[in-house]
Amino acid sequence: MIILTTLKQKDLAAVSAQQLFDNYYVGETKPKKINRYEQFEIIGHFDQNELLEKIENSYVFANPNKHHLITSPDHFNANETYFNVCRKSPLNLNSKVKSLNQLIGHGEVTAVHSSELWAFQIDTPTQVDELKLSLIESSSNNLAPFAHPLIHDVAMITFEDLVNALPKSQTTTN
């Protein structure tokens, strides 16, 4: 099961990245808007609906005063291009695994893998590989700050795939 969170106020990592591109980027694929989401993949054997309800009523992933907890596609739109940046050795959040196992009545959560999802609004249609090279993967001759080739893997995610991956995709898209 995949859920995401994002800050209710402006995410300063996204703001810094946006400023970097606004001030120094020379190229056609300059992103108009950048958003950052934290993505959590919850792995184990459990009742998805039960766990989701418990998560929504807890502070395990999101403080409702500060974060949006995203379980449906409402925050996303088809105009954006999405990239998931995850560590080559998955970042497993043990404290969240413990918290979730205390919450659920049946089953077991075995891992919670954390990664980042970056959303870009780009006007010019561009090849995915070109976007990765110019915007995402850092090198000494580009401005891309989001992933380092030694420690991160990058995957482009289409809007449709993202919508389908979210637990409440069926109820909200129908």
Distance in Å, CB of 85 to another protein, minimum = 9
Let me know: does 115 contact 37? Beta carbons within 8 Å: no
Nearer to another protein, 12 or 77 (CB): 12
102-121 positions binding another protein, by CB under 8 A: none
The reply on whether position 7 binds another protein by CB under 8 A is no
Task: Give the interface segment with another protein, choosing from 13-21, 45-53, 95-103, 162-170 (CB under 8 A).
Answer: 13-21
76-95 positions binding another protein, by CB under 8 A: 89
The reply on whether position 5 binds another protein by CB under 8 A is no
Show the tokens assigned to 118: 């970056």
The reply on whether position 43 binds another protein by CB under 8 A is no
Nearer to another protein, 27 or 64 (CB): 27
Q: What is the DSSP letter of 123?
A: S
Let me know: does 131 contact 90? Beta carbons within 8 Å: no
Distance CA 85, CA 24 (A): 23
Distance CA 133, CA 91 (A): 24
Binding mask 129-158 for another protein (x = CB under 8 A): ---------xxxx-x-xx-xxxx-------
Instruction: Name the residue with tokens 């950052």.
Output: 36
Q: What is the DSSP letter of 81?
A: E
Which residues fall within 8 angstroms of residue 14, CB to CB, at 6 or more apart? 34, 35, 36, 118
**89 class by beta-carbon count within 10 Å (0-12 exposed, 13-18 middle, 19+ buried):** exposed
Task: Give the interface segment with another protein, choosing from 11-19, 47-55, 56-64, 122-130 (CB under 8 A).
Answer: 11-19
Nearer to another protein, 89 or 174 (CB): 89
Q: Which of 1, 5, 7, 20 binds another protein (CB under 8 A)?
A: 20
Contacts with another protein, residue ranges (CB under 8 A): 12-13, 16-17, 20, 24, 89, 138-141, 143, 145-146, 148-151
